[in-house]
Amino acid sequence: MLNTLPIQLLEIARLRLDNEQASLKELGEMLSVPIGKSGVNHRLNKICKMADELKGV
């Protein structure tokens, strides 16, 4: 499923998988185009929503 995500969501998903202990701020700083905590949170929530839709929740 990861490969079907838009590039911005794919990048944050891969960073989260590779850096489980990183804070939202740290994840945002690691992106190719850095974003703030709220932007990271928004993207991760979007991924969770998409996963829930696939599960039928």
Three-state DSSP state, 12:
helix
pTM above 0.75, yes or no: yes
What is the pLDDT at residue 1? 67
Q: Return the H-helix or E-strand segment holding 26.
A: helix 24-30
The pLDDT profile of the chain, 57 residues, written as one tens digit per residue, is 677 899 999 999 999 999 999 999 999 999 999 999 999 999 999 999 999 988 886
What is the pLDDT at residue 2? 74
Say how many domains are in the chain.
Answer: 1
Structure tokens at 56: 């039928």
Domain carrying residue 51:
2-55
